[in-house]
Chain A
Amino acid sequence: MKSGGMELDIVPVSGELNVGPQHPGSGHLRIFVKLNGDIIEDAEIDPGYVHRAVEKLGENRNYIHLIPLVERPAILDSVNMNLGYILAVEKILNVDVPERAQYLRSFAAEISRIASHLYGMGILAIFIGHSTGFMWGFGDREVWVQILEALTGARITNSYIIPGGVRRDLTPAIIEMTKKAIAFQRKKIKDWERIFLNNPNIKARLQDVGVMTREQAIEWGAAGPNLRGSGVYYDARKSEPYGAYSKLDFEIPVYKEGDGYARTLVRFEEIEQSLRILEQVIKDIPEGQILSDRFFKQIPPTRLKKWWEGQRRIVMPGYYASFRPPKGEAISRVEAGRGELVYYVVSDGSAKPYRLRMITPSYRSIYVMKNLLKGARYADLVSIYGSLDYFPPEADR
């Protein structure tokens, strides 16, 4: 460039940064970032560092043995992971689930959703340097995890939902705990709004960052809160009600902005909706069995007496050990915490699935994140990552 006799060389300031897998802001993921100055020109996402080979192992395990496996990829949201798989298996088996079990499934799934959202918000907060949000997210989550522990016996990886019903019944003590937790969470959300959502610093970091238009969200196949943050009204709980959702009254929060802040707001409002669902479940839950009669009859009477009558627990009937569902295939979808979760199970009549396909919401976020990162600033990498609530083990499966 010539200007006034002086020669001026403009040197392009570009380079590559290898973010992860050993990096505080990457999780189990490698993002190969091509930078031009502060702008990301291209981002190559390299997942797979926590690949569990769920699909391959799925072909080598009996149906019932897969329950602990499929919930491992997203241990924070294991109830939903478990539920989706069971729905697909039940479709092949053609089982009716009793009403009370349906309500309990919704109950556990919503607790899991709240816990998952709080975890995601905590990670988002620490990604943009807000350590209080991080600690609060994890601290608030503890309350819900303890309810899950009381209900299912495990904090995470609950394996609560089994074909035909659920494993344990709701007790008055758990209802009391949940009522307290709902009141606590409502109070905490007000605090969250004060220190996190209305914090000018957080707004500056999230607003107009990682903007995804409605068309882009549909084209890239975004899922869950990320989709709803871009103005698409879609929720698997409404489109194809499972559990007790057809009888429960709740709303789907949708924001049009499509930026990180909208996605965050969607998550917070979903927590509020989940609290509403929990209240309704506690109020409306019908009495009755928690396991389909078809399987319940197979439990030996002595064991029934010991476990069911005393502690309202289900012991697995022998049928479960290696049942052979009829030939066929089923696709199920549930709305997990991070978005729509799809299971596709193909059965060839043997005790093991012929093919198990598991599409998790974070898996669908890979392409979304790759596209959103292009043209963003380097410092926005973490806020886009966090606001998508991308969870590497869930994406890798």
Chain B
Amino acid sequence: MNILFDIRYYILYPSFFAPIILPGLIFTAILLLTTIWFERKAAARVQMRVGPYYASKRLGGYLQLVADALKFVFSEVIVPDGVNPTLFALTPVLVVAMSFLPLAVIPVSVIPPSGSIFSIYFYDFYDPNVGLGVLVGLFTQYNMLLILAIESIYPAMIILMAWSTNNRFAIVGAVRESYLSVSYDVLLLMSTISMALEYHTLDLVKIVQSGVPGILANPLAAVTFFIAMIIGSARFPFDIAEADTELVLGPATEYSGLLFVLTMAGSYVGNFVYALVFTDMFLWGWYPLSGFPGALLTVIKASILVFFSVFLRSVYGRYRLDQALRGSWKYIFPLAIASMFLGLVVGYLWIQ
């Protein structure tokens, strides 16, 4: 039984388990299909339609998404004239890679010293801040900063993608994306910093394990982070860079087939990443559970957040670029400053 034990050991090893299984590649892929299914089904309910249905009537048309994905995989990838084919094919991959990467450093649960299937890795992923192991691909004590740093590469990849397709609509979309990314990155960073000031740490695990959910400790930061998340993952009403009636599909205009799926997947994965961080930072993450149930609790909370943000499609239209920028700099930015101030004051008074 040594081999089985070895396999189990390696599969459950957090550096493999977190990036590949939960909340990584496999879970995210399933979530991606479920999210799109939910998006279509929920919008259909609002809009007096049925939505996906015929591909599998008993599952509510869930397999339609699988069929769509298969169809995309096998459809031809058209490379336009006058582009660099290597860059053209590479950039969507980079987009997805960059949006997936933070999943490796987001803690999804803690490992108790004994009693959990992960307990054997307790010492390998030991977090001195809380005195527990952490279920995460790569543990650092500064994971809040690392996540945001990696995720902020994502818009740069989108811009690179638009640039490499050499299409005017794509470039206009890229310009819009760059405007937006500046505004939402600032908001994300500021609300994160206000949480860090309040909890005296840059470690998400400590925030969760402190026992006080962030949304109570600093509601302003939660609002700021949530709006920045909606903008950052290009959900309605901030679907500005991809505005289909204005810019065809923005940066993804020239893509088809599998590459198109990758470009589309990027924003959903990005949304999930932000939702995971939001869950950890503001919604109590896995607390009070630990181990595998804790991880499940975290991803379920995050999935509900993702579902909520895709549901906005059936309520809102699309803001104009200048309106979104004015909104984020004129109204949300002061809110972010206020949240920072709140974090400073509360953090000063509340010494843990």
Contacts and interface: CB of A to CB of B under 8 A. Distances in A.
A139 B48 CA distance: 7
B49 interface: yes
Contact of B48 (A18, A135, A378): A135
A25 B246 contact: yes
A38 B321 contact: yes
Contacts, number: 83
A201 B248 contact: no
Interface string A349-381: 000000000000000000000000000011111
Contact of B47 (A15, A129, A139, A381): A139
Contacts of A23: 248
A125 interface: yes
B245 A382 contact: yes
Nearest to B326: A204
Main secondary structure of the interface of A (DSSP, over half): helix
A127 interface: yes
Contacts of B240: 379
Contacts of A24: 244-245, 248
Interface in B227-274: 236-237, 239-240, 243-246, 248
A15 B319 contact: no
A128 interface: yes
Given A130-B317, A201-B237, A17 B168 contact: yes
Interface residues of B, number: 28
B316 A201 contact: yes
A175 interface: no
Interface string A195-239: 100010110110000000000000000000000000000000000
B323 interface: yes
B320 A377 contact: yes
Given A129-B236, A129-B245, A136 B47 contact: yes
Given A24-B244, A129-B237, A135-B49, A205 B169 contact: no
Interface string A113-150: 00000000000011111111111100100000000000
Given A25-B246, A130-B318, A135-B49, 7 more contacts: A125-B317, A139-B49, A199-B315, A379-B240, A379-B246, A382-B245, A382-B246
Task: Return the 10 tightest CB-CB contacts between A and B, nearest first.
Answer: A129-B318, A25-B245, A135-B47, A130-B317, A129-B317, A128-B317, A379-B320, A201-B316, A139-B48, A382-B245
30 contacts: A23-B248, A24-B244, A25-B245, A125-B317, A127-B245, A128-B245, A128-B317, A129-B237, A129-B239, A129-B244, A130-B318, A132-B43, A134-B47, A135-B47, A135-B48, A139-B47, A199-B317, A201-B237, A201-B318, A201-B319, A205-B317, A205-B318, A205-B319, A205-B320, A378-B246, A379-B240, A379-B246, A379-B320, A381-B246, A382-B246
